[in-house]
Every structure is written in C-alpha cells, then in structure tokens.
C-alpha cells in the first residue's frame, strides 16, 4: 500500500507539469457560467441549476477529460522510454497500472467536487441554494460512478494501443453517445435501447432518479435506476474492463 501511495504521488507530480490538467479543472469551474446566467434570467431553482451543471460538466465533459488523461497517463512511459527503468527498480506492471487507475479515480472526484462548488457559487448568484449536504454526497457518488463508467473506454485505449489521435476520437464518440443517450431516457427512441450497453447512461439514470425533478420530467422516473442496481451494473463493468485492461497492459512491449 505504501508503494502504491508513493507511486500515486509521483504520477500527480508528473501531471502537475501538464497544462491540460489545470485548464480542465478551471474549465470544470467556469463551464457552468453560461447556465448560471441563463437560469438566473429565467428564475430557475437551484436544483435545476445543479442538474444542468451535472449533465454538461459530469455526464458529458468529465468522461472526455478522464479519457484524455488516461491517454496521457498510459503513454507517458512509452513516450519517454522510461517503462523499462521502472521495471528494473523494480516496480511491477500491475502496480503501475493500479497507480494510474487510482489517479484517474481521484481526479474524477476532484472534477465532480469542482462542479459542485461551481453550482453552489451559481446558487448564491441566483439567490437560491438548498440541500447542500445531500448534493455533496450526490457529487461524491457521481465521481465514483463516472469513473466506473469511463473504465470501458480506458480499456479500449489500452487494448487497441493505437495513435493518440485515434484514441481521442474514440473517447469523444463514447462520451457524446453516452450523453445523447441520457437525453433520450424515457422517450422510446432507438438510443434508449443502448441504456445498459453504455455505462454513462446507467450513471445518468441513477442520477435522475436520486435528484428531485419537476413535474414536466416525471415521465423519466419509471426508467431510472436505484443506487444498488446502478452501482452493481457499473461495478461489473468496472471489474470486467479493469481485468481486460490489466491483461493487455501486462503484455505491452517494453
């Protein structure tokens, strides 16, 4: 465990030099600004603001960010040709893999909490704020669920082992398709059938079931998922694709 914690610290030190990380955290905080302005004009409630921020910041933006950071993390050693040096120390490939996955998990929590803080600031601006402890717990849950929902695309990146451009395209397609599918929940569209095939949609169905919705959106409630069901499904996805990723990563040529 100590070795893993040290490795996590080293990974964060390496990422600290990457402008992309700082820019995306700043974006997570600034992204809600247009929503805050629009909802302040329309007199929307704080819950509506929070729900909108989550939809765009966590359901759409975060999987893209985690996927791209995964590309950076899993290509660092290959790009600098330092993987063989790490293995000589020795550090096992399993520990290296688990370290990178832990970093992604922690970043997922950081981003969802950044969106939560941005929502609170927006609530103060529109003059409405409520359910602070409950929404904090929801944000923690979103950090966990979105991370699990992103593990499959991380597996695709590792298994395919293609160029960074190809990997980024796969990440964007995965995130956008998941976001669009969430928007079709309960509408009987063809995309609605992809619910259980896309982990991001499972996250959206859990989230929409746990956060209060107004009467106009009550039609989606029969299609939402309870916390145990959503977590069970996402955990199954996470475990299966983590094992697949690990198997592929261990076979990576030095």
List the pLDDT tens digit at each of the 254 positions of the chain: 666 677 777 777 777 777 777 777 777 667 777 777 777 777 777 888 888 888 888 888 889 889 888 888 887 766 555 555 555 556 677 888 888 899 999 999 988 988 888 888 888 877 777 788 898 999 999 999 999 999 998 888 888 776 788 888 899 999 888 888 888 877 766 666 666 678 888 998 899 888 887 777 778 888 888 899 999 999 999 999 999 988 888 776 55
Q: What is the rounded CA–CA span in Å between residue 254 and residue 243?
A: 20
CB atoms closer than 10 angstroms to residue 160: 12
pLDDT at 87: 52
Coil, helix or strand at residue 1: coil
The residues near 220 (Cβ < 8 Å, ≥ 6 apart) are 185, 186, 208, 213
pLDDT at 90: 63
From residue 32, how far is each of 40, 150, 205 by CA, in Å? 12, 22, 21
From residue 35, how far is each of 27, 46, 114, 133, 157 by CA, in Å? 13, 11, 15, 22, 32
Specify the pTM.
Answer: 0.86
Nearest alpha carbon to residue 40 among 31, 49, 28: 49
pLDDT at 142: 93
Runs of H (alpha helix) within the chain? 2-16, 19-30, 33-42, 46-53, 62-80, 83-88, 93-126, 132-160, 164-183, 199-210, 227-250
Coil, helix or strand at residue 147: helix
Q: Which two tokens stand for residue 199?
A: 């982990």
Q: What is the rounded CA–CA span in Å between residue 195 and residue 214?
A: 22
Q: What is the rounded CA–CA span in Å between residue 145 and residue 167?
A: 22
Burial 41-80 (b: 16+ CB within 10 A, else e): eeebebbbbbbbbbbbbbbbbbbbbbbbbbbbbbebbeee
Q: Which two tokens stand for residue 98?
A: 């688990």
Q: Which two tokens stand for residue 214?
A: 């107004």
């Amino acid at each position: 465990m100590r070795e893993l914690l040290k490795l996590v610290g080293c990974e964060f030190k390496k990422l600290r030099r990457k402008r992309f990380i700082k820019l995306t955290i700043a974006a997570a905080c600034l992204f809600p600004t247009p929503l805050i302005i629009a909802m302040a004009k329309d007199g929307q409630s704080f819950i509506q603001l929070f729900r909108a921020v989550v939809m765009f910041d966590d359901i759409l933006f975060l999987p893209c960010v985690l996927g791209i950071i995964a590309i950076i993390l899993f290509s660092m050693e290959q790009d600098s040709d330092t993987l063989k040096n790490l293995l000589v120390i020795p550090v096992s490939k399993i520990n290296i893999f688990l370290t990178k996955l832990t970093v992604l998990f922690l970043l997922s929590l950081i981003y969802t909490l950044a969106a939560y803080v941005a929502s609170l600031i927006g609530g103060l601006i529109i003059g409405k704020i409520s359910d602070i402890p409950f929404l904090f717990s929801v944000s923690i849950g979103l950090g966990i669920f979105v991370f699990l929902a992103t593990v499959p695309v991380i597996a695709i990146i590792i298994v395919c082992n293609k160029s960074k451009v190809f990997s980024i395209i796969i990440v964007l397609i995965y995130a956008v398709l998941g976001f669009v599918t969430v928007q079709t929940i309960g509408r009987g569209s063809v995309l609605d059938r992809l619910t259980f095939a896309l982990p991001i949609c499972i996250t959206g169905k859990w989230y929409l079931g746990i956060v209060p919705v107004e009467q106009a959106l009550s039609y989606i409630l029969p299609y939402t998922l309870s916390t145990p069901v959503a977590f069970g499904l996402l955990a199954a996805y996470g475990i299966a694709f983590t094992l697949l990723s690990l198997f592929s990563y261990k076979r990576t040529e030095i």
